[in-house]
């Protein structure tokens, strides 16, 4: 009786209840066949002594269930390597099972569009036949993976929305950092189809990546093979746990990679399989030591053999214990960062790629580099449909306004940079020159990144979609070894939402304030009526008239005055003295 009362007082999350609404979104994935079979059980009802983490760290790795979220589980590996990130995502001090203050609730954090977002869930977990049916730890008594997966599912709206994704996206959500992807097959294929210049595909050399072996994260993905599913599966992601160079008995050098399959079972029948004859080519002590490192679901494979089988490699930039991004090219920390939001709006700022004459209408940003150094620039687009109503209601994360810039699919995005002299800046002449740095292509990705070693001075950044008129919101981020400043290039504001596709007439009128005749000051002064006055006639058509007025002063920055203007609604018969009427718009 006492236990029932205690159980009844445990937290129950009404925003993500134990039912089909939390499991499914549209019933289009293979897990939909389990509708009605899933029950929701708390950890203390699954095992006798539940814990968050396993005593043996090797048993804390994630094991995939019936949900196709291997991409997310591969990203989770970074948390086991980095205590700072684990504490960031799963804050400490939360009462666990059997501890004083335990309420059956746990809080997690995910990085979303520039902010860390808090997600709270109860610990009722989906089970089939009293066993966890989705992701879980190798240890049956550890629950950090299952709870983290539930929080991530809540963020996205349902477990079903975690079916299929990119390791790179999950890594960014768990670290707030950057990733890079190497496409090993048909690199640039999309770009050629769009008609842009093809850039040679990058060669992946793991040994050249700084800090990744110890502090970064590496994952490899298999898409599909012409002959059907390979031994590694189809559309499957695996984790690269480590790599090492070994010398054979004949004096040859071999690089071996230890791979972990989220399925939790070995799936490799290549030369370096567990009992393969090729192990005899190594010193017996070396062979024994390497094989002893493998856990459940892990195997060794030669680098060349693996790269021939996989389609893509994803590398997550290391994050230091102080939360600083570390370059995978130089190994240096990039302690300075800036970010700014923007959006592409059809008819105003969705100019498309450089193939279009409207390219210059895209959003533009000043990047000021204070001293020479390494700079990484990331362009991240917002994919609104994957966010649940919960995440859109968070007060500490900004999302695009409803309607207009949220799309089901990613746009093909790219980023270009020009070195400029700001005082003598001319947009047309600048765009006629080749950029000093660019992303490799416009890609249908959530995030693209460019890297450059920049000298001091101003640089112009222009993010763009490939297609003209394609709408989306985005976040521009800069990480650098030296201080930088990122700001918006001022320009005309977006057209009013009620008429985004209308024709806009533009009028400009010069004027000046002259002491003694037309410098009347603000409305606080009796002389306010001396200021220049301009009649403005608006022809009313269907709907409300849309007018945008800007007042700009021309003088050196040190001589700028506080300025403003007022708009008064007057009858057509009222002359220049009409300023005495009430203010219509300030």
Q: Choose among 538, 540, 560, 539: nearest CA to 551.
A: 560
- Identify whether 70 is a catalytic site residue: yes
The Cα-based distances of 449 to 358, 375, 475 in angstroms read 23, 10, 12
Q: Rounded CA gap, 525 and 55, in Å?
A: 76
Q: Choose among 298, 188, 319: nearest CA to 238.
A: 298
Q: Rounded CA gap, 106 and 523, in Å?
A: 56
β-pairing, 236-247 vs 253-260, is antiparallel
| Paired residues of 105 in beta bridges | 122
Q: Rounded CA gap, 109 and 112, in Å?
A: 9
Report phi then psi at 343, rounded to 5. Answer: -155, 155
CB distance 427 to 360 below 8 Å: yes
Of these residues, 61, 156, 236, 382, which one is catalytic? 236
**Tokens 């031994």 — which residue?**
231
Residues in the chain, overall count? 586
Q: Rounded CA gap, 65 and 467, in Å?
A: 39
Instruction: Write out 185-213 in H/E/C secondary structure.
Output: CCCCHHHHHHCCCCCCCCCCCHHHCCCHH
DSSP of 311-354: SEEEEEPPB-TTS-EE-TTT--EE-EEEEEEEEE-TTTT---ST
- Identify whether 129 is a catalytic site residue: no
Consecutive H or E run containing 417: strand 413-420
Of these residues, 70, 74, 137, 220, which one is catalytic? 70
Q: Rounded CA gap, 232 and 235, in Å?
A: 9
Angle (deg, nearest 10), helices 144-156 and 70-81: 130
Of these residues, 82, 261, 362, 531, which one is catalytic? 261
Residue 31, both tokens: 């897990």
- Identify whether 432 is a catalytic site residue: no
Residues acting as catalytic residues: 70, 236, 261
């Amino acid at each position: 009786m006492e236990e029932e009362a205690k159980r009844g007082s445990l937290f129950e999350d009404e925003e993500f209840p134990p039912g089909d609404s939390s499991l499914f979104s549209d019933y289009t994935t293979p897990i939909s066949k389990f509708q009605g079979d899933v029950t929701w059980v708390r950890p203390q009802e699954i095992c006798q002594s539940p814990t968050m983490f396993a005593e043996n760290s090797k048993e804390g790795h994630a094991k995939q269930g019936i949900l196709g979220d291997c991409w997310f589980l591969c990203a989770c590996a970074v948390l086991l390597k980095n205590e700072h990130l684990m504490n960031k995502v799963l804050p400490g001090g939360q009462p666990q099972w059997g501890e004083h203050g335990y309420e059956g609730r746990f809080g997690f954090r995910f990085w979303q569009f520039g902010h860390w977002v808090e997600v709270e869930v109860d610990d009722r977990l989906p089970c089939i036949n009293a066993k966890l049916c989705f992701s879980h730890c190798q240890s049956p008594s550890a629950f950090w993976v299952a709870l983290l997966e539930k929080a991530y599912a809540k963020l996205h709206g349902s477990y079903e929305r975690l079916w299929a994704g990119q390791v790179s996206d999950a890594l960014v959500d768990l670290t707030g950092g950057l990733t890079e992807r190497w496409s090993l097959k048909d690199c640039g294929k999309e770009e050629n189809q769009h008609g842009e210049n093809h850039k040679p595909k990058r060669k992946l050399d793991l040994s050249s990546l700084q800090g990744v072996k110890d502090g970064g994260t590496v994952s490899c993905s298999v898409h599909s093979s012409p002959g059907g599913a390979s031994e590694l599966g189809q559309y499957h992601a695996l984790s690269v746990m480590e790599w090492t160079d070994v010398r054979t008995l004949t004096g040859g050098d071999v690089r071996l990679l230890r791979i972990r399959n989220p399925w939790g079972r070995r799936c490799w029948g290549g030369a370096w399989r567990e009992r393969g004859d090729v192990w005899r080519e190594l010193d017996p002590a070396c062979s024994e030591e390497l094989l002893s490192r493998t856990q459940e679901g892990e195997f060794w494979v030669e680098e060349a053999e693996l790269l021939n089988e996989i389609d893509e490699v994803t590398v997550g930039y290391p994050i230091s214990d102080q939360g600083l991004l570390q370059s995978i090219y130089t190994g240096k920390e990039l302690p300075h960062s800036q970010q700014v939001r923007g959006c592409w709006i059809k008819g105003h700022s969705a100019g498309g790629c450089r193939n279009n004459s409207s390219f210059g209408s895209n959003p533009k940003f000043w990047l000021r580099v204070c001293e020479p150094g390494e700079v990484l620039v990331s362009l991240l687009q917002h994919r609104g449909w994957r966010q649940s109503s919960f995440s859109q209601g968070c007060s500490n994360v900004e999302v695009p306004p409803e309607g207009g810039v949220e799309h089901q699919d990613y746009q093909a995005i790219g980023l270009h940079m020009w070195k400029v002299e700001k005082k003598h800046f001319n947009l047309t002449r600048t765009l006629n020159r080749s950029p000093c740095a660019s992303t490799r292509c416009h890609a249908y990705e959530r995030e693209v990144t460019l890297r450059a070693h920049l000298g001091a001075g101003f640089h112009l950044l222009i993010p763009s979609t490939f297609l003209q008129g394609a709408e989306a919101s985005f976040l521009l981020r800069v990480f650098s070894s030296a201080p930088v400043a990122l700001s918006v290039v001022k320009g005309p504001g977006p057209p009013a939402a009620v008429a985004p596709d209308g024709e806009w007439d533009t009028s400009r009128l010069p004027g000046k304030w002259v002491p003694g005749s037309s410098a009347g000051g603000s409305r606080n002064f009796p002389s306010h009526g001396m200021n220049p006055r301009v009649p403005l006639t608006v022809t009313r058509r269907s709907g409300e008239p849309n007018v945008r007025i800007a007042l700009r002063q021309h003088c050196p920055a040190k001589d700028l005055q506080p300025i403003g203007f007022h708009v008064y609604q007057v009858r057509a018969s009222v002359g220049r003295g009409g300023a005495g009427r009430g203010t219509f718009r300030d």
